Amino acid sequence: LIAIITTLSVISERSNIRRIIRKPVICEQRRNESEQAFNIRVDSERETRLVELAADVVKKYDLEAMILDGPLIPRFRGAHISAIRNLVEIGEKRRIPVAGFVKRPESGYLFRNQDPEFLDSAILSARLNAGECYPWPPKKILDERTGMEFQYTYLKTTSDRRILPFRIDFPNYLDDESCKRILEHMLAITDPLKGVPAIIMMADEEVKLSKKLMRDLYAECVASLMSKYPEKSWGVVMTRWGEFWL
C-alpha cells in the first residue's frame, strides 16, 4: 500500500482566498507492516504535517483565528505531540485563537463510565438543538502524555439528526468569551445541508485528488515496482486495484 499526503491552509481575507500548500509526500507500506499499522502511521503523519503547517501560518500571518480540520487534543505520540505543543505555544505568544474542528469524533470523554457505553456525539445528538453546544463552558481535560490542558465542547450545527454534533477543541489559554466567538463564527459560515463550516469544506475540496491524477500516480508506482524484477516474472504479479493501463 502507498499513501500520498499533502496539507493545505486556506486563509480567508475578506473577499480574497489565499492558499498555502505543502509538497506532497509518499508513504509506502513497510515489509511485514500490517495494513492496520500502516493506516495508523499514515494518519499520524498526516495530522502531524497538518499541525506543523498550521503553526507556520500562525507564526507568519496576523489571523483572527486558526481552525484546524482535525483535533487539537493529541491522538498520537512523538512528532505529533511536539507539533501540537509548538502550535499552542505560538498561538498563545501571538494571541491568536486556535481551535480544532473534529468532524467524526470518536471520543467518550463525557459518558465513558455509562453502561452501555456510547460515544459522546451519539448521546448529545438526541439532546442538542441546532446552534447549541455542550458542555458549556468548555470542559477542561488534562492530556497525560503531554501534561498540557485542553478544553472541548460539542457543537450541534444543524437540525438534521443524521449529522451528529462536532467536537471543538480549544487550547487552555482561551477564555470562555474567545471560545464563544469561535463557535459563533463557525455557526455563521456553516453549510445548512452538511453542517460543516464553509472554510473547512473549502479546504476539503482543495485537497481532493482527481481520478486522472490518481490513475497516473498509480501507474507510475506500479511501473516503478515492476522495474525492480525481471520482466519474465511480471506475469505472477497481481495488482490489487487493477491494471494501470486501463
Please report the pLDDT score of residue 99 as a whole number.
97
Q: Say yes or no: 124 and 241 in one domain.
A: no
Does 245 lie in the same domain as 191?
A: no
Give the range of the structural domain holding residue 91, as residue numbers without chain letter.
Answer: 2-208
Report the relative pairing of strands 133-143 and 148-155 from DSSP bridges: antiparallel
| pLDDT band for position 169 (cuts 50, 70, 90) | very high
Number of domains in the chain: 2
Q: Tell whether 158 and 215 lie within a shared domain.
A: no
pLDDT tens digits for range 34-44: 999 999 999 99
| Residues 38 and 90 grouped into a single domain | yes
> Are 152 and 123 within one domain?
yes
Same domain for 199 and 84, yes or no, is yes
Whether residues 186 and 241 fall in one domain: no
pLDDT of residue 105: 82
Q: Which pLDDT value is given to residue 133?
A: 95
| 174 and 219 co-located in one domain | no
Pick the most confident of 48-57, 142-151, 225-234. Answer: 48-57
pLDDT tens figures, 113-127: 555 567 888 888 888
C-alpha cell at 160: 438534521
Do 84 and 168 belong to one domain? Answer: yes
3-class SS letters over the chain = CEEEECCEEEEEECCEEEEEECCCEEEECCCCCCHHHHHHHHHHHHHHHHHHHHHHHHHHCCCCCEEECCCCCCCCCCHHHHHHHHHHHHHHHHCCCEEEEECCCCCCCCCCCCCCCCCHHHHHHCCCCCCCEEEEEEEEEEECCCCEEEEEEEECCCCCCCCCCEEEEEECCCCHHHHHHHHHHHHHCECCCCCCEHHHHHHHHHHCCCHHHHHHHHHHHHHHHHCCCCHHHHHHCCCCCCCCCC
Q: Is the pLDDT of residue 163 over 80?
A: yes
74 in the same domain as 155: yes
